[in-house]
Structure 1
């Protein structure tokens, strides 16, 4: 019997691949009655509460330009098959496959927790990177509006932030972001992977179309918000051919900063991505994986700081040179936008009141 992956409409993963913590694995097999010939049943998005104790995540990665992040959601409905955050769902006892894009968690107490953390006497202001693990503007944000509420809190405290998204929903919050940007407190990056609509539909099934993201860049830039573009991830032999054109169109749309990330395939993501390649691009699959391994020291992934984002070897060096020359030609900088931290001030009603002293018995 041959294994045949199911295709779930609007989903990138084809299965709930077992995580590295699961003691058992499962395979989908045809029972001989054509049971896999039918279309897969609809897979609805389920949203659960995340009982978080804090929302600011402090990191010590030397190859990142920030030291703290904030993610309102766990899991991401955009369903990008290449998302490096997929393996984090395994820590929740769920699969990095379909579970990651359909079983989501929201931090309902995010606003109250953020106010508490910002008001702590020992807190030192530094830019917060929003949605670095999962997109803060994924589709469920339309209903829950956690990202908007968080930006409102940051606005009240004059706290700087940056944000990377694949969604045009960020346009909804221009009324909050533009005044912050005028004070040097905000910048927005749009992540654009490919210009090919058909590839994009399979790579990022619930993210905005590529041309819609360029339109978002134009609207943000017109509102006076500093914008940039992330060509991320760059997939060799599949999307790398679009790098120069993505940078050029982003520059025309008003982006003045740019960055890129070479495809990362940690843990279970390697198997998920290879299955996806075999399903949609079988003739290119071996070539794509060969270039990835050539750029990762013979492996599917390297986690070393400094190498994990760029790779190494001939192809990775060529990619780096192409990016550098394109940015120089367009006058785009690879450096992050600067922020002001001297305006930070916690509103008085956030201040934690000291505990009342214990009264004496007599």
Structure 2
């Protein structure tokens, strides 16, 4: 590493305060490291914030997706549809259940799952009697999808909806918080370190349907119940429990929940700073040969990511060259995401490039710029300056 080079600016980074550390230490000194009071406290706080009836904390958003699929009865012979521009977990959750996966191309403006493409695909699937059981819209960058439109299609074609809001904690749609499940059966959040708030690893499933919440809660902990009615009828004694389903160990720890609770106190500040930095990027990048993020008037994004797209016909360098030059200057850019259907595992299932052209076009142009609450304006200026030079533009 060149000692004269400034430190690398990561694309994302957690914000951990002394209060966060004290909250975790208090749990470590307590009687409960798992299955104590902090997890339900965190769940209740998230449910109240989002306006949902039920919240289930788990050890990752991937686990939340898996439980959501199982609770909705997804299994062999069923199909789940999602966006190709997402992390692989949004599709893999169907495979965990023995179901099939297919994709719906993205909208060229929002880069989210396109409602028009979805409607067209549903009409074709209805003729073939191959409608999906579940559709998973992904709120890329923290911008909610057109959930009202997707929900309207669900009523017509009979599919369930899981909102993948891994990027969208704190976002709003039509002036209501993402996670209220007004237009979906279940919403899932991620608390990975680069997300809006963190529990180190962790996730949450939100729902307004008690039966879904109870099913996910059962499956989260081995399919075992200690129901009070069961205890009073226990043939052996008060230690009795029953496994009534094949579940998993997807529980969140008390330390993670304590961290999440403390992070929730700063969620508003995190979102405010991300929105300020995003607006500043949009101002500073005007006039460059880039396609900047489009914000739908119905959405108030959480801005987990700030993604630009290169207008490749207006620059002399390739996508890879621009990306490499930024990395070489200590700008920790990333790319979210490689289209899922182009991954080797999915190609082995029969998917081929060319089926979702807008997603593939996006992949050839997209770059995620550094964005996190502690990003300083001087560092943001450095990102913009390096990008301007990489694009061959005058500073």
TM-score, structure 2 length as denominator? 0.26
Q: Which has the higher contact order (CA 8 A, sep 6+)?
A: 2
TM-score, structure 1 length as denominator? 0.28
